[in-house]
Chain A
Amino acid sequence: MLKLIAKRLFVGLVTLLAISVIVFAGTEILPGDVAQAVLGQAATPETLAALRATLGLNEPAYVRYFIWLGKFLTGDLGVALTNGMPLDRIVGQRLINTIYLALYAAVVALPLALGLGLLSAAWPESTFDRTVSSVTVFFISIPDFVIALILVLIFAVELGWFPAINPRPRWSDFFPTLGALVLPMLTLVLSVLAHIIRMTRAAVLDVLKQAYIEMALLKGVSKKRIIIKHAIPNALGPIVNVIALNLGYLISGVVIVEVVFSYPGLGRLMVDSVVFRDVPQIQVVAMVFCAFYVALNILADVGAIMANPRLRYAK
């Protein structure tokens, strides 16, 4: 088992390395010139050339890649081109805000989705199951910025229950912040709920068709116990996977939601850095997003391995 996990970790690291190449290449082909963007219209050819030299823009691309990678690995993220602030501080603050919102959404979404998924699987094709399935399909079909705007329209504009624009969370006002973040949280919950519900339902239903479930039934095991004790451990693999994918989405897929609610998270930072051609900042944010995705997927794989005795103990 340890060998399997080590293998996953290794593959994860290689993936990250590959991603760093893509991120670097991607920002290379981004149109526009950083020096030009920084200096603006007032730039003279001399100042442009000087700035290019200080930024190292005259070196060949692969040299710059290795210099960038080396600095990145040693923890030197550099400074934002636009305001000269150290990137680790900017990105760190924004990352905390994003994780805050993601965790908030996850804490609400996961129990709800797993519960609804299990209940749907326990009574397949029942009115309850059909209702859950239609409602989730409804929400999954609407783009999340539309959901966000509708929520704002109803709960912020008409009813005035929650603010439409969200300041950064303050730890001193924990509960008021939670209250203020209800609308972005709800938007996120609605967009991940359907995936998790449907996967949970499908995975558990698939297991319920197996011969060992019939065996349990004929041993006199109750339906509740069959689902909890006999079915769930066998359905864990796919469920853990879809949860990890959606947690990844909550962190790196929130760009639109953060923009709509003008919430100071990583997603909005990404949008801002692209607008200002702040290449180092784009690179760092992209790497952070990817690192989270890869890490969560490794966790999901490890979780699935741990959940499966056939992988945990070889013959």
Chain B
Amino acid sequence: MTPLLRIEGLVVEGRPPSGIWVQTVNGVSVDVAPGEVVALIGESGAGKTTVALGALGYTRPGTRFKAGKVYLEDREVLTMSPRDRRDLRGKDVAYVAQSAQSALNPAIPIGEQIAESLMLHGIADGNEAMKRSIDLLDLLDLPDPKALAHRYPHQASGGQQQRIMMAMAMACQPKLLVLDEPTTALDVTTQIEVLKAIKDVIRERGTAALYVSHDLSVVAQIADRILVMNQGAVVEEGPTADILARPQKEYTRTLLGAVKPKPSRDVALSDWNPAAGQKPILTVKGIDATYIKPGMFQKIEREQHVLHDVELDVFPREVLAVVGESGSGKSTLARVIAGLHGPLGGEITLDGEVLPAHSRQRTTEQLRRIQIIFQSPDQSLNPERRIDEAIGRPLELYFGMKGSEKQDRIAELLEMVGLDPDYAGRFPAELSGGQRQRISIARAFAAKPDIILCDEVLSSLDTVVAARVLDLMRQLREEHQVAYVFISHDLSTVASIADRVAVMYAGRIVDAGLTKEVFSPPHHPYTQLLINSVPALRQGWLEDVIATREASAGMASNVMLHDPACPFRVRCPLVIDGKCESEPPPKREMGEHHVVYCQHTEAELAEHQRLVE
């Protein structure tokens, strides 16, 4: 059978600003048969997206095709006229981008954006195009398609936006879809819903797809064949089952090895119980917070809170993980502790001493003892300041260091995070993402803090780089006796580093305890949903998990942030009608340190959750 897409010996060059052209893709060949789903996997910078965009005859600004051919059926895409290529794009090949939030035009209503493809390619016009757009929204299981078509992208949730983009791509019934990490930016729970939608639609319509991803577990659910890419070349290719079970090349084995096991009691590494016989160094009590500014005459309603009565202890030298979906209030909590966001009420104490709400009211010593590392070093490091200035600032501020003493300490800190002391004179732009995050870590440790708030510090990094940074953080904690408040949505990473875990949902802590306790039943139904939603590295996992009551309940509805009783009840598979919507869930002690807020007793939860296992 002739392939639908044939990429032959594709060579693409890229030029960094003011640099010379270098090859980023070195002669890659890919075949995709009609109806086949082929995955391109590898680390970032491997050239996956560049190759995938080649199928549309497109290179990003600053890159260009050097050699090779791209055939779609019998037409050569790279040499055809721009006019023909325009006709082809969106009609025969369609693209789904990584982040729907930035790839949907904020100024155009959703329905119009979908209808545009239909009208441009002369498939339907006016009312007919709009009608078809609504049908497409319906096809992707979007709620109330008619109303949604008239809304703007920002009025839809993240998972909905991703499915809207999928609907847009499917508008002209393309023969080939190019999907660029379509679920990477999503929460695990949302990822299931979007993956299911994508899989259903391409199966139903028999569409072929080129699926770009760095996540082998995701690819295992959807691809027929896998191509492993590294540094601009294909390392290995084969049917999905073969690649997963019998990888031939060393690089493929490394990638498979880097896949973290699903979080469970067995992968929870920490045996330490920091709460045994110790006093907490930091306590958080009854914290309420909101982003609404009170008006002159209106009072802030409880529904507008993003943190509800949050209570938390941090013990010396422990790693306390805070997990939950995006929007659950994890980062707000970190900002409140750091004094960057004033709470409405509640109290934070450091070593028994009450901390002022705002960082500007705190003493230098109080500021020194709590440091924060942000998700993206691109945004937290000033691009105009050299590395030594970034790290030197806390040294001056907290220890009054100057001159050679300061320079020596900077060199020491750089070595500590595994960087050459020569980096001191460079600017952040001259460093890689992983190196920049190491600088942020060095800057936090420069203050010799007792607590470091780590807000999704690994999420912007590649799997392999992230693993190394995590190792560094583990080692530094041992050496420097510091406690981490480790905020993350990645349960597998959390399982491997945390001593204790707090699970947040809709601004409340719903489940908290030792890592081993939280990650094994009985635990809160939401914890169970999160754990079940982490993809497993085996084919058929998606179908299995969708078949469970947990997942369908989890997908049933969006998060209700401000429900006064139990906000999780609308997604809870164990909801008790008549009770969960009226009474706030009681605090239940399960085991020595494990606390769950739920109407169910420990025995009831254990019973239900054993059935699921």
Interface residues of A (CB under 8 A from B): 210-212, 214-222, 225, 229-230, 233-234, 307-310, 313, 315
Are B152 and A212 touching (Cβ within 8 A)?
no
User: Roughly how many angstroms separate A230 CA and B103 CA in the complex, as a whole number?
Assistant: 12
Q: Does B276 contact A (CB under 8 A)?
A: no
Are A220 and B103 touching (Cβ within 8 A)?
no
Q: Which of B83-91, B382-390, B424-432 contacts A (4 or more CB under 8 A)?
A: B83-91
Are A309 and B121 touching (Cβ within 8 A)?
no
Sample (5) of A-B pairs whose CB atoms are under 8 Å apart: A212-B104, A212-B106, A214-B60, A220-B87, A220-B120
Q: Does B194 contact A (CB under 8 A)?
A: no
Q: Give the contacts of B506-564 with A (CB-CB under 8 A).
A: none
User: Roughly how many angstroms separate A149 CA and B121 CA in the complex, as a whole number?
Assistant: 56
User: Roughly how many angstroms separate A233 CA and B121 CA in the complex, as a whole number?
Assistant: 23
Are A313 and B152 touching (Cβ within 8 A)?
yes
B546-584 toward A: CB 8 Å interface, digit per residue (1/0)?
A: 000000000000000000000000000000000000000
Are B91 and A220 touching (Cβ within 8 A)?
yes
Q: Does B94 contact A (CB under 8 A)?
A: yes
A232 CB → nearest B CB, Å: 9
Q: Does B116 contact A (CB under 8 A)?
A: yes
With a cutoff of 8 Å between Cβ atoms, the chain B residues found around residue A211 in the complex are 97, 99, 102-103
Q: Does B304 contact A (CB under 8 A)?
A: no
Q: Does B155 contact A (CB under 8 A)?
A: yes
A-B contact count (CB 8 A): 77
Known: A309-B152, A309-B154. A219 touches B116 (CB 8 A): yes
With a cutoff of 8 Å between Cβ atoms, the chain B residues found around residue A313 in the complex are 151-152, 155
Q: Does B117 contact A (CB under 8 A)?
A: yes
Are A212 and B154 touching (Cβ within 8 A)?
no
Most chain B CB neighbours (cut-off 10 Å) among A214, A217, A218, A309: A218
A-B pairs, 5 with minimum CB distance: A233-B107, A219-B90, A220-B90, A220-B89, A211-B102
Contact of A221 among B53, B95, B120 (CB under 8 A): B120
Are B89 and A218 touching (Cβ within 8 A)?
yes
B166-191 toward A: CB 8 Å interface, digit per residue (1/0)?
A: 00100000000000000000000000
Q: Does B398 contact A (CB under 8 A)?
A: no
Residue of B nearest to A221 (CB): B120
User: Roughly how many angstroms separate A315 CA and B152 CA in the complex, as a whole number?
Assistant: 9
Q: Does B251 contact A (CB under 8 A)?
A: no
Contact of A220 among B53, B97, B117 (CB under 8 A): B117
With a cutoff of 8 Å between Cβ atoms, the chain A residues found around residue B165 in the complex are 215
User: Roughly how many angstroms separate A35 CA and B103 CA in the complex, as a whole number?
Assistant: 69
Contact of A229 among B56, B108, B152, B154 (CB under 8 A): B108
Are B106 and A218 touching (Cβ within 8 A)?
no
With a cutoff of 8 Å between Cβ atoms, the chain B residues found around residue A307 in the complex are 107
User: Roughly how many angstroms separate A225 CA and B117 CA in the complex, as a whole number?
Assistant: 12
Most chain A CB neighbours (cut-off 10 Å) among B56, B88, B89, B168: B89
With a cutoff of 8 Å between Cβ atoms, the chain A residues found around residue B91 in the complex are 220
User: Roughly how many angstroms separate A210 CA and B90 CA in the complex, as a whole number?
Assistant: 19
Are A309 and B106 touching (Cβ within 8 A)?
yes
Are B154 and A310 touching (Cβ within 8 A)?
yes
Residue of B nearest to A236 (CB): B107
User: Roughly how many angstroms separate A233 CA and B109 CA in the complex, as a whole number?
Assistant: 12
Q: Does B105 contact A (CB under 8 A)?
A: yes
Residue of A nearest to B60 (CB): A214
Contact of A234 among B53, B60, B106, B168 (CB under 8 A): B106
With a cutoff of 8 Å between Cβ atoms, the chain A residues found around residue B86 in the complex are 220-222
Residue of B nearest to A218 (CB): B95
User: Roughly how many angstroms separate A82 CA and B362 CA in the complex, as a whole number?
Assistant: 62
B26 CB → nearest A CB, Å: 24
With a cutoff of 8 Å between Cβ atoms, the chain B residues found around residue A220 in the complex are 86-91, 117, 120-121
Known: A217-B58, A221-B116. A234 touches B87 (CB 8 A): no
User: Roughly how many angstroms separate A310 CA and B155 CA in the complex, as a whole number?
Assistant: 8
Contact of B168 among A219, A233, A310 (CB under 8 A): A219
User: Roughly how many angstroms separate A233 CA and B107 CA in the complex, as a whole number?
Assistant: 6
User: Roughly how many angstroms separate A229 CA and B117 CA in the complex, as a whole number?
Assistant: 13
Known: A211-B99, A220-B88. A308 touches B120 (CB 8 A): no
Are B56 and A218 touching (Cβ within 8 A)?
yes
User: Roughly how many angstroms separate A217 CA and B102 CA in the complex, as a whole number?
Assistant: 14
Are B152 and A310 touching (Cβ within 8 A)?
yes
Are A315 and B155 touching (Cβ within 8 A)?
yes
Are B89 and A219 touching (Cβ within 8 A)?
yes
User: Roughly how many angstroms separate A221 CA and B87 CA in the complex, as a whole number?
Assistant: 9
Are A219 and B108 touching (Cβ within 8 A)?
no
With a cutoff of 8 Å between Cβ atoms, the chain B residues found around residue A233 in the complex are 107-108
User: Roughly how many angstroms separate A216 CA and B114 CA in the complex, as a whole number?
Assistant: 11
With a cutoff of 8 Å between Cβ atoms, the chain A residues found around residue B53 in the complex are 218
A313 CB → nearest B CB, Å: 6
Q: Give the contacts of B347-380 with A (CB-CB under 8 A).
A: none
With a cutoff of 8 Å between Cβ atoms, the chain B residues found around residue A218 in the complex are 53, 56, 58, 89-90, 94-95
Residue of B nearest to A235 (CB): B107
Most chain A CB neighbours (cut-off 10 Å) among B60, B95, B99: B95
B136-151 toward A: CB 8 Å interface, digit per residue (1/0)?
A: 0000000000000001
B13 CB → nearest A CB, Å: 19
A281 CB → nearest B CB, Å: 39
User: Roughly how many angstroms separate A225 CA and B152 CA in the complex, as a whole number?
Assistant: 20
B518 CB → nearest A CB, Å: 32
User: Roughly how many angstroms separate A109 CA and B318 CA in the complex, as a whole number?
Assistant: 66
A224 CB → nearest B CB, Å: 11
User: Roughly how many angstroms separate A229 CA and B105 CA in the complex, as a whole number?
Assistant: 10
Are A212 and B105 touching (Cβ within 8 A)?
yes
Residue of B nearest to A312 (CB): B152
Q: Give the contacts of B76-130 with A (CB-CB under 8 A).
A: 86-91, 94-95, 97, 99, 102-109, 116-117, 120-121
Most chain A CB neighbours (cut-off 10 Å) among B53, B105, B120: B105
B133 CB → nearest A CB, Å: 13
User: Roughly how many angstroms separate A308 CA and B91 CA in the complex, as a whole number?
Assistant: 30
Are B88 and A212 touching (Cβ within 8 A)?
no
Contact of B107 among A222, A225, A234 (CB under 8 A): A234
With a cutoff of 8 Å between Cβ atoms, the chain A residues found around residue B97 in the complex are 211, 214-215
Residue of B nearest to A222 (CB): B86
B307 CB → nearest A CB, Å: 19
Are A215 and B155 touching (Cβ within 8 A)?
no
Are B108 and A230 touching (Cβ within 8 A)?
yes
Known: A211-B97, A313-B152, A315-B155. A216 touches B88 (CB 8 A): no
User: Roughly how many angstroms separate A309 CA and B56 CA in the complex, as a whole number?
Assistant: 31
User: Roughly how many angstroms separate A231 CA and B234 CA in the complex, as a whole number?
Assistant: 37
Are A315 and B116 touching (Cβ within 8 A)?
no
User: Roughly how many angstroms separate A216 CA and B152 CA in the complex, as a whole number?
Assistant: 16
With a cutoff of 8 Å between Cβ atoms, the chain B residues found around residue A234 in the complex are 105-107
User: Roughly how many angstroms separate A217 CA and B88 CA in the complex, as a whole number?
Assistant: 11
User: Roughly how many angstroms separate A242 CA and B471 CA in the complex, as a whole number?
Assistant: 51
Are A310 and B106 touching (Cβ within 8 A)?
yes
With a cutoff of 8 Å between Cβ atoms, the chain B residues found around residue A229 in the complex are 108
Known: A210-B102, A215-B95, A220-B117. A308 touches B107 (CB 8 A): yes
A249 CB → nearest B CB, Å: 28
With a cutoff of 8 Å between Cβ atoms, the chain A residues found around residue B106 in the complex are 212, 234, 308-310
Known: A214-B103, A218-B95. 14 other contacts (CB 8 A): A211-B102, A211-B103, A212-B102, A215-B165, A216-B105, A220-B86, A220-B87, A220-B89, A221-B90, A230-B105, A230-B107, A233-B107, A308-B107, A309-B107
Are B90 and A212 touching (Cβ within 8 A)?
no
User: Roughly how many angstroms separate A313 CA and B60 CA in the complex, as a whole number?
Assistant: 33
With a cutoff of 8 Å between Cβ atoms, the chain A residues found around residue B90 in the complex are 218-221
A225 CB → nearest B CB, Å: 8
A122 CB → nearest B CB, Å: 14
Are A219 and B151 touching (Cβ within 8 A)?
no
With a cutoff of 8 Å between Cβ atoms, the chain A residues found around residue B104 in the complex are 212, 215
User: Roughly how many angstroms separate A157 CA and B517 CA in the complex, as a whole number?
Assistant: 93
With a cutoff of 8 Å between Cβ atoms, the chain B residues found around residue A210 in the complex are 102
User: Roughly how many angstroms separate A211 CA and B105 CA in the complex, as a whole number?
Assistant: 9
Residue of A nearest to B102 (CB): A211
With a cutoff of 8 Å between Cβ atoms, the chain A residues found around residue B154 in the complex are 309-310, 315
Most chain A CB neighbours (cut-off 10 Å) among B53, B102, B107, B154: B107
